[in-house]
Structure 1
Amino acid sequence: MKKRNFLLGRGERLAEPVKIPTGPVDKISPYTFAEAKERLQPMLNKLAEKISELSDDVCPEGNTVASLTLNPEFIAKSYYPDKLLRTLGLETIGSRKKIIIPEKKSKDRKPTETTTTELFVKGDRNSFLRWASEFSSWKESDINVQQIMEIEEINFPDADTKIKAFTDSGTTQVFEVVLQGNDDFSEVLFKKYLNKLGIEPSFERRFYVGGLSFFEIAAPSELVENIAEFSLVRIIRKMPELRLLRPTFRSTGVGGGKVDYHNLEPVNKNFKVAIFDGGVPEDHPISQWTTSYEFPDCGPATEELLEHGISVTSAFLFGHLDPSLTLPQPYSYVDHYRVLDDEPGQNPYELYEVLNRIDDVLSEEKYEFINLSIGPYLPIDDDEVHAWTAVIDHYLSTGNIVATIAVGNDGEGDPSINANRIQVPSDCVNGLAIGACDVPDNNWQRASYSSIGPGRSPGLMKPDLVEFGGSLGRPFLAVGADGIGYLQTGGTSFAAPSVLRISAGIKAHFGNSLGSLAIRTLLIHTSEASAIPKSEIGWGRVARDLDSIVLCDDHIMRVVFQGKITASKYLRAPIPLPLTPIDGMVNIKATLCYATNTDPHHPNNYTRSGLEVFMRPNKNKKRKIKDGESEPLHALTKPFFGEIRNNFSSENELRNDAFKWENCLHAEKRMRGTSLNEPVFDIHYNARSEGHNDTKFQELNYALIITVEAPKVPDLYDRIVRRYATQLEQIQPIIDIPLRISEQ
């Protein structure tokens, strides 16, 4: 039997905590205390004037909201103005990014346009009025108020700034209203306010996620500004339509051929997969691998919805089909939930109805794999997180689910208004946003219809990956709705479940040896890179077959770390190499992914966890010491994970620390073998909550995959296996069947 070098596991056995001393950083403010007072007093006076004019109705329990814009030099979590807010009796209830030109920069540098953070703070009206009246008497000697030097602007969020994408039609419409806060009491007060306006909302379907509440409200168009005047309203917009990712084209029949079915059971029956879509009839041939579920409140399914549900499920079970072959053996059974029951766009309440059904399932059932080829007809918004994204990201934050989400088919939309940008909820940072390429073999390009990135920061690299989704010259083939012929089609709807199929193939073969985070990391790590802009294809095209993912040539070693890291600590992960020096050049590729809790009310501080990584290539190369200094404990660092920065920093206004909060890092470097001496990655875990330090003890699950390729060392794999024989283990398949999983 031919020797097969499977990827190595248990890399976490090599990792160990390390102590790396860090000293306090003295921050020089652009403003003196006196300058800050002089600048802010007029803003406070204007704020007090507006607050004094507010009616009691718009101030629940006497509370109102103001915004504090931080000077861009003070947006890191360690500079959060906690002492100031406590002194004022205010609390932060949200934030968003804001692009400004500050009045001053420290060290006499010239101010330039840059990104900063706008905080929304809530408090009793009297707290704001007292601040304005007593501000002139504040003394710099009071340590609790010195943080005023960190504030660039103070504003009152007027009602018209909360209204998005709305044109008054003079009729009653369904609106989506987002409140700052997620408690029942705020809901009661908001409902009471709406009643005074003559609006009787049912609030039958609403979502509480993070620090936000999402409501659907039917109201006359002329009352939109009145609704927005309620202090806790963050945004109001016309309810987006539900998008069914309609195929870019479709036709049935391929040369008169019929689908050649079989009755083989799946490769592995021991894990759960869910697809949320348009339904699969129980009498369709693929129902032998599919369990269909209906909701009591669902009406009849249309033929179009069923066709979409069948073809999406076909893509998961079989991938892109070859009419000359029998259907491939599925990797698992699949549960298909019909969450659609009407022509999308006809029911103004459907967006929340569908999300409510998905929420009900995910709250009750524990799935390891899910696919979404549906969502709001809405390009992502840098300033706001939508309910669909917030709800789904919440379920994915455990890291126990591989979720593939289609990015949308509007890649040919008007870029000047971001109409071609990826659509909600493919901006989930804990999911895999999947775009489409035009052919399944070589010389591929992004399919012109596939929506493009970047995503929101953090979460810039969207789409994460692309996969064949069909094109006019090369359609995607799925089983037809009639159960007899083929459907020629195309769209990201089919690329997404095709990637989920590959994920399920890894799970089917390797069982619990690879967790969901590791599978997600493997897909990114082994993707096929391209010179195509990252905003179009993300990290690249998914590997063509399972061999490329789990097998190594003799001169290549790939190792998987699956472990935990503690907040505020450093973890050292060695890069496995032979004991003897390596001849020639060495290519090192590494991918680090983790799942994270999120704060949807702080879009620019959306992820609560961040990992900074430093490479130390040579243990003997240390910083030169000066007279009287002790020898440094650790070797010099070398930049490694700069891929995201290199691709997006010049195109986007980003925070200075934005990249440390990206929850997927991927890069590769070519280095001389002689320059490597016990190289390591040092990983530092930063934790934050609502944009500031989170000091609670907590652990974060991560997956790190490292590949070392040394063309001049023909037995590299075996040499590393021998060196780490008691620590690293080959990840052997639990089901030894042919490993090829996709057709060219």
Structure 2
Amino acid sequence: MANTQTNETRRPLLVNGEALKLAVQAPNAGGGDKYEPQTVDQARTNLTPQIQAVTAEAESLPPELRASDHLYVEAKLLPNYLAASYFPTELLAHVGATPVGSRSDIGQYVTKTKSVTSQTRRLIFAVSDSGLHELQRLIADGGRTRSEHQALAQVKELEEISLPRQSDVLRAGELSAETQLPHERRVWEAVLHPQSSRLGEPLPLDQDTLDRWFNLIAAEGGEVHRDFVRRVGGLTFTPVSLDDSRVESLARFNPLRVLRPMPAIRPRPRFGMRSVQRLSAPPSSRPVLSDVSVAVFDGGVDVGRNTASLFTIPTHDLTPEAPSQDELDHGTGVTGAVLYGLVAPGDQAPTPPLPVESYRVLPAPNIPGDLEGYWVLDRIKEEVETKGHRIVNLSLGPTLAVEDDMEPNRWTSELDQLAWENDVLFVVAAGNDGDKDQAAGLHRVQVPADMANGIAVGACDAPAPETPWARASYSSMGPGRHGARVQPLGVQFGGTDSRMFNVLRADGSFLEAAGTSFAAPITTHALADLVTRLPRVNSSVLRAFTTHFAERPRSHVKLRDEVGYGRQPLNFEELLNCAPGEAHVLYVDDITRGDLLGYQIAMPAALTANVKLQMTLAYASPVDPTQPTEYTSASLELALRPHHRAHTFRPPQGVAEKSRALDIGGVEARQLLSDGWSPSQEPVTKSLGAAKSGSAEAQLRDSGKWETVRHYRVTLKPDEVELPRLELSYVARRSGALDNSPTTIPFALLVSVVDESGSTDIYDAVRTRFSVLQPAQRARTRLQTRGASPSHWY
């Protein structure tokens, strides 16, 4: 979609699309009878011996291995009941149980004709001893009252009931075989369940239970690193030093969710020497726009070499450790890429688009084991909250690959919450383990590149617009965690063995290296420049642009786990200009839970050729670290209605004919109405490629139901388009159940209408028809950035 235009023929991207809002009516609830894979009596027969075993095991559990006044029990759902609307609220309420989390699992999705293995989850709930006995009685004896029968009806959703399984709690297998030494003492990360929840919000563990945990660690000869105990989303993260041979004893502690080796900070790329030919200083070191800032957390900037005035930026030493030359080289190269983008020896540096501040966090202080990751994360959180940076580049993180049954991770959870609360965009390097063992899952993106509210960047072997291009072999791959499955979101040039990345030094000379560490800051630079070119910007807008204008490879569906949505642009300047046969329109708005919003699609009144419609939706979502399978709490759904008069007509009962889509004002439609046929309340929708309505919940999730970034492409024929509109709806969940509390979600929707035949001047026709749309103009200043509404950066 890029094109070269003179000033006289520029056709800037159009903004203010939210002004095309329409009044729409919520459709009537649909859906038929649901197939039930088991009856209540069958479930009772299956679950009775299980709940008896759980009760007996709970009674034998010594006080030092349990919470002060409750137990943690898990219930495996049949995959047929994953949707939040099937959450067993009445059953849990009847026994006084409180949901505190979930785990990923596998089960059998059963229909009338088949049974297939599918993703499911295990509900984790806190329940008193008396509540556990009541659950046993209810399952064994059945209901006596109407409310008990309503609670009992939900046991058919359950396949298993058990106390936490040691195989789920103890993740010692995450150690490589060569590092599993029985008497080795190492730092472990222990994550404890919330105590309970209030109004759907998890409450951290009580002090009495936490003391029992600390005492148990001491009894096993271990040590709690109390200065690094952290609470995130109701979970309590407690780093402990312990001999490997003692971890199985700790795994018996009932409130313990997971115990795993503490991951180390990722290793840095190796550097080689390159030409000493230098980068010239920029025309001006004063940023184009000064009221939105970028932060880089890394190894610092080697100001001792600063003889070229390339790094006249604030630098902060947050670590008391002396600088390491390797860390300085890495940090300087990353910061240089954020400031200037992809540059080469002999170039002149461009003017930086935004102010950049460098924070030296490596080497971390001399603390036990691998606790440096906790220390670094604390510094990132403190500085971002204090300084109000809107874009943060992270070319560092733990050495921990995402798994399908990923347990809560402090890095991802903290940063996603920070991104949601403060509208901060984290641009994260995906990791450099893409060539590792795929069977073991070591090739997948590394935390926090699994963020749902950030941008994970992998590496490719050539910069845009060069072709051909492909994923760099080392670039870590997807899929990501639930709610952010398309990871990395895209790829950027990061260098390869045959074509290294030019790593800028402070004196203007270059080293050479390769890694996603350098791909991420190139995208950060492009987004910083984009901020200066749009009148209205927030993190959702930036994520939408990154995805919408990514260059898709051939066979994109097959390659999505390798390159996400494609190769990201080095710069958005030309992409913001439309060719005559296309129009890009940006919609920026908020939606409240339960709302249904409609927007007219900016399109000419009449078409003479097929048009391609490209739509990207990006939004920020609250996250729930206790629910890895329900991690994102918000789902925004798009529906495309291309023709305002095209309705579905359903035959009257007893007529064996198929439904038809017809013009409601046409002769055939009027005849069907007279024959008793019923038209749909709203115009027909055009499939956007997601799973069909009525599909298994697992399929709906894989198709993007809870993803915070979506991209769709459809082709429309001239005769199926008239006053087309998009509808946006919002459902929410809390603790895995549907949430009815009012929450407002900011979103960005980027829509492109393209006539590839060249027969229609789309842009001018849209400008003439929709005068409310305005060409994007480069901002000279933007008011109220720090302390402003978190929805917008202006």
Give the conservation status (yes or no) of the 8 Å contact 1:435–1:495: yes
In structure 2, relative to structure 1, the CA distance for the partners of 1:88 and 1:109 (3 Å cut) is: farther
Structure 1 residue 115 and structure 2 residue 140: aligned? no
**Comparing 679-688 and 710-719, the one that deviates more:** 710-719
In structure 2, relative to structure 1, the CA distance for the partners of 1:333 and 1:495 (3 Å cut) is: same
Counterpart among 56, 69, 84 of residue 62 in structure 1: 69
Deviations along 1:375-407, one digit per CA (max 9) or x if unpaired, are 111111222131111111111124722221000
Give the match's secondary structure for 2:266. Answer: strand
In structure 2, how many angstroms separate the alpha carbons of the residues matched to 1:344 and 1:619? 66
For residue 160 of structure 1, report the CA deviation from its aligned partner.
4.3
Give the match's secondary structure for 1:415. Answer: coil
Give the match's secondary structure for 1:127. Answer: helix
Give the conservation status (yes or no) of the 8 Å contact 1:56–1:62: no
In structure 2, relative to structure 1, the CA distance for the partners of 1:655 and 1:546 (3 Å cut) is: closer
Give the conservation status (yes or no) of the 8 Å contact 2:428–2:454: yes
Residue 253 of structure 1 aligns with which residue? Answer: 274
Superposed, which structure 2 residues align to 1:158-557 within 5 Å? 158-164=165-171, 165-166=174-175, 167-181=180-194, 182-185=204-207, 186-244=209-267, 246-247=268-269, 249-254=270-275, 256-262=276-282, 264=284, 265-285=286-306, 288-295=311-318, 298-341=320-363, 347-383=369-405, 384-398=407-421, 400-440=423-463, 441-480=466-505, 483-510=507-534, 512-531=535-554, 533-557=559-583
Give the conservation status (yes or no) of the 8 Å contact 1:275–1:370: yes
For residue 315 of structure 1, report the CA deviation from its aligned partner.
0.8
One-letter amino acid matched to 2:182: S
Q: Kindly report structure 1 stretches of 4+ aligned residues shifted beyond 6 Å.
A: 343-346
Give the match's secondary structure for 1:38. Answer: helix
**Comparing 317-326 and 186-195, the one that deviates more:** 186-195
Give the match's secondary structure for 1:416. Answer: coil
Residue 708 of structure 2 aligns with which residue? Answer: 663
Structure 1 residue 722 and structure 2 residue 768: aligned? yes
In structure 2, how many angstroms separate the alpha carbons of the residues matched to 1:84 and 1:673? 53
In structure 2, how many angstroms separate the alpha carbons of the residues matched to 1:322 and 1:668? 36
Deviations along 1:517-567, one digit per CA (max 9) or x if unpaired, are 112201211111112501111101112432333111111101000001121
Give the conservation status (yes or no) of the 8 Å contact 2:295–2:391: yes
In structure 1, how many angstroms separate the alpha carbons of the residues matched to 2:121 and 2:160? 11
Residue 50 of structure 2 aligns with which residue? Answer: 43
**Comparing 497-506 and 24-33, the one that deviates more:** 24-33
Structure 1 residue 600 and structure 2 residue 648: aligned? no
In structure 2, how many angstroms separate the alpha carbons of the residues matched to 1:271 and 1:382? 36
* Equivalent residue pairs, number: 720
For residue 28 of structure 1, report the CA deviation from its aligned partner.
4.1
Structure 1 residue 682 and structure 2 residue 723: aligned? no
In structure 2, how many angstroms separate the alpha carbons of the residues matched to 1:137 and 1:653? 33
In structure 2, relative to structure 1, the CA distance for the partners of 1:343 and 1:408 (3 Å cut) is: farther
In structure 2, how many angstroms separate the alpha carbons of the residues matched to 1:480 and 1:600? 39
Give the match's secondary structure for 1:51. Answer: helix
In structure 1, how many angstroms separate the alpha carbons of the residues matched to 2:87 and 2:73? 16
In structure 2, relative to structure 1, the CA distance for the partners of 1:403 and 1:85 (3 Å cut) is: same
Unpaired runs of at least 5, structure 2: 1-6, 195-203, 653-675, 782-794
One-letter amino acid matched to 1:7: L
Give the conservation status (yes or no) of the 8 Å contact 1:583–1:712: no
Instruction: Give the structure-2-normalised TM-score.
Output: 0.86
Give the conservation status (yes or no) of the 8 Å contact 1:570–1:683: yes
In structure 1, how many angstroms separate the alpha carbons of the residues matched to 2:366 and 2:481? 26
Give the conservation status (yes or no) of the 8 Å contact 1:96–1:602: yes
Residue 742 of structure 1 aligns with which residue? Answer: none
In structure 2, relative to structure 1, the CA distance for the partners of 1:345 and 1:638 (3 Å cut) is: farther
For residue 268 of structure 1, report the CA deviation from its aligned partner.
1.8
Give the match's secondary structure for 1:371. Answer: strand
Superposed, which structure 2 residues align to 1:725-744 within 5 Å? 725=771, 727-734=772-779
In structure 2, how many angstroms separate the alpha carbons of the residues matched to 1:316 and 1:328? 11
In structure 2, relative to structure 1, the CA distance for the partners of 1:22 and 1:190 (3 Å cut) is: farther
In structure 2, relative to structure 1, the CA distance for the partners of 1:197 and 1:125 (3 Å cut) is: farther
For residue 241 of structure 1, report the CA deviation from its aligned partner.
1.0
In structure 2, relative to structure 1, the CA distance for the partners of 1:452 and 1:148 (3 Å cut) is: same
In structure 2, how many angstroms separate the alpha carbons of the residues matched to 1:620 and 1:653? 34
In structure 2, how many angstroms separate the alpha carbons of the residues matched to 1:143 and 1:363? 47
Residue 133 of structure 2 aligns with which residue? Answer: 129
Deviations along 1:45-96, one digit per CA (max 9) or x if unpaired, are 1111211220011111132211101111111001100100011111111102
Give the conservation status (yes or no) of the 8 Å contact 1:420–1:452: yes
Give the conservation status (yes or no) of the 8 Å contact 1:99–1:653: no
Counterpart among 584, 590, 611 of residue 609 in structure 2: 584
**Comparing 178-187 and 425-434, the one that deviates more:** 178-187
Give the conservation status (yes or no) of the 8 Å contact 1:211–1:599: no
Residue 9 of structure 1 aligns with which residue? Answer: 15
Residue 635 of structure 1 aligns with which residue? Answer: 683
In structure 2, how many angstroms separate the alpha carbons of the residues matched to 1:656 and 1:596? 16
Counterpart among 141, 150, 169 of residue 157 in structure 2: 150
In structure 2, how many angstroms separate the alpha carbons of the residues matched to 1:426 and 1:330? 26
Give the conservation status (yes or no) of the 8 Å contact 1:95–1:602: yes
**Comparing 137-146 and 513-522, the one that deviates more:** 137-146
Deviations along 1:179-227, one digit per CA (max 9) or x if unpaired, are 1112453434432443444444242113322232212111232221222
Give the conservation status (yes or no) of the 8 Å contact 2:459–2:495: yes
**Comparing 301-310 and 125-134, the one that deviates more:** 125-134
Structure 1 residue 22 and structure 2 residue 68: aligned? no
In structure 1, how many angstroms separate the alpha carbons of the residues matched to 2:374 and 2:546? 32
In structure 2, relative to structure 1, the CA distance for the partners of 1:114 and 1:735 (3 Å cut) is: same
In structure 2, relative to structure 1, the CA distance for the partners of 1:592 and 1:656 (3 Å cut) is: closer
Give the match's secondary structure for 1:361. Answer: helix
Deviations along 1:301-349, one digit per CA (max 9) or x if unpaired, are 2111111100000111112212232122211221111111159999422
Give the conservation status (yes or no) of the 8 Å contact 1:622–1:632: yes
Counterpart among 82, 96, 118 of residue 89 in structure 2: 82
Give the match's secondary structure for 1:317. Answer: helix
Deviations along 1:683-703, one digit per CA (max 9) or x if unpaired, are 211111121111101221110
Give the conservation status (yes or no) of the 8 Å contact 1:398–1:595: no
One-letter amino acid matched to 1:489: A
In structure 2, relative to structure 1, the CA distance for the partners of 1:655 and 1:117 (3 Å cut) is: farther
For residue 491 of structure 1, report the CA deviation from its aligned partner.
0.8
Deviations along 1:224-247, one digit per CA (max 9) or x if unpaired, are 122211111111011111114x22
Give the conservation status (yes or no) of the 8 Å contact 2:99–2:125: yes
In structure 2, relative to structure 1, the CA distance for the partners of 1:371 and 1:155 (3 Å cut) is: same
